[in-house]
Amino acid sequence: MQQPLAYLMRPKTFDDVLGQEHLIGKDGILSAMIKKQKPLSFILYGPPGTGKTTIANIFAESFDMETYFFNASTDNKARLMDILNTTNFTNILLIIDEIHRMKTDVQDYLLPFVESGKATFIGLTTLNPYHSINWAIRSRCHLYEVKKLNDDDIKKAIQKGLHMLDIDIKIEPNALDSLVRYSNHEIRSALNLLESVSLVLKDGDTLTNSLLLRIAGNPKYSLDKSDDNYYQLLSALQKSIRGSDVDASLHYLARLLVLEDLNSLTRRLLVITYEDIGLANPNIAPKVLAACEAAKMVGMPEARIIFSNIVIELAISPKSNSAYLAIAAALDDYSNNDTGEIPNHVDNNKIKLDPSIYHYPHDDNGSLNDQIYLPDKIKEKTYYLPKEETKYEAALKVRLDLIDKIKGKKR
């Protein structure tokens, strides 16, 4: 059985790994762990084909530890129990693929072993762990980004691949650039495509751009997904809607629709609705939700029409980020400052002892009274600053001014 070129070229040492000097170079943190023989639990995150699994395997082989592999999307708790309870080793290394998919019950079982030192783990994921992995896991490990490979890295891999294939062919410069693009900056894809090329060409031939296109087929869709980075495309869509550029919004929507990941698109549109449109046009929120649900129900290609409708409306809609700024300020204040204790008249335990300390607003004129519910240390704080650019939020400000007057608060 002939093994694929990408498998044959999988690096055996860190010296063979392209890129990632910040992790595995002379002064890299993983190199330091190996040098001092002190492995710590960590998560490697980054785009596909950048070497996460290879780095984890080489790292594991550098220690005299029993290594086990666990796939969080397919393996269950019983498999983890079998690994952790049947080994005679005092310390094992667990490589966890797709760690963002690890279920809560599996996490709960693993964490005591990590804390006791019996298990050290390396998590692998293509997603940003700050968004996709819960705090219980993140707080017990280090997070290291495996960066997207640049053009030169991919070209080096292609040249090594040509040498291993032992075929004497030339590649035109523009064809080499296209080969890099068509690979989506993934070494595995580049080598697979190079192997396909080697079946068509013979010694002395030249790979041209037109010939590469015939061999690769139409790479446009995969190019959009990787070259521009899928999450960058989502961000470009949000920035275009936020900037009220309807044509740019439709352009990035089109590029995203080609990939047919309707779930990610739906999540982003809902975020945009509340982050960027916000209180300037609150009536649009149920319309966006209904449109997203309808689009997923009918699927592509008809979903494109529904998404187009709602994206146009979002782009042209008035904008307000006042709610986004308000909660960001409140979170920052609580995280970085001593905000004090909950006031007695807001604390249920204190109210039970003396019900008179709490004034029930519905018993007061206009359902308003002068009680302040913030802790005493920050009772003068203001987080929400309304914008008066739309009728709705201007009306909110009128109501808020009345409330502040009764409570004796300056905003």
Residues 171-199: pLDDT tens digits? Answer: 888 888 888 887 777 888 888 888 888 88
DSSP state of 379: T
Superfamily of domain 19-145: P-loop containing nucleotide triphosphate hydrolases (3.40.50.300)
CA–chain centroid gap for 390, Å, is: 33
pLDDT at res. 223: 44
Query: Rounded to an integer, what distance in angstroms lies between the CA atom of residue 169 and that of residue 179?
Result: 14
Query: Rounded to an integer, what distance in angstroms lies between the CA atom of residue 294 and that of residue 226?
Result: 28
% pLDDT > 90, the chain: 44
Asked if 238 and 271 touch (Cβ cutoff 8 Å), the reply is: yes
Name the residue with tokens 């308003």.
368
Tokens representing residue 51 in the block = 């070497």
Give the residue-averaged pLDDT of 2-19: 83
pTM: 0.55
Lowest mean pLDDT among 80-94, 144-158, 240-254: 80-94
Give the residue-averaged pLDDT of 320-331: 93
pLDDT at res. 326: 94
Name the CATH topology of 151-225.
Answer: Helicase, Ruva Protein; domain 3 (1.10.8)
Under CATH, which architecture does the 228-316 domain have? Up-down Bundle (1.20)
Start and end residues for every CATH 1.10.8.60 domain found in the chain: 151-225
pLDDT at res. 225: 47
Query: Rounded to an integer, what distance in angstroms lies between the CA atom of residue 401 and that of residue 80?
Result: 58
Class of domain 335-407: mainly alpha
Which residue from 326, 331, 311, 325 is spatially nearest to 244, judged by alpha carbons? 311
Start and end residues for every CATH 1.10.3710.10 domain found in the chain: 335-407
Give the residue-averaged pLDDT of 355-361: 92
Residues 38-97: pLDDT tens digits? Answer: 999 999 998 877 889 999 999 999 998 889 999 988 888 889 898 888 766 668 899 999
Asked if 57 and 30 touch (Cβ cutoff 8 Å), the reply is: no
Start and end residues for every CATH 3.40.50.300 domain found in the chain: 19-145
pLDDT of 290 > 90? The answer is: yes
3 state SS of 40: coil
% pLDDT > 70, the chain: 95
Contacting residues for 237 by C-beta, under 8 A, at least 6 apart: 249, 252, 253, 256, 268, 272, 311
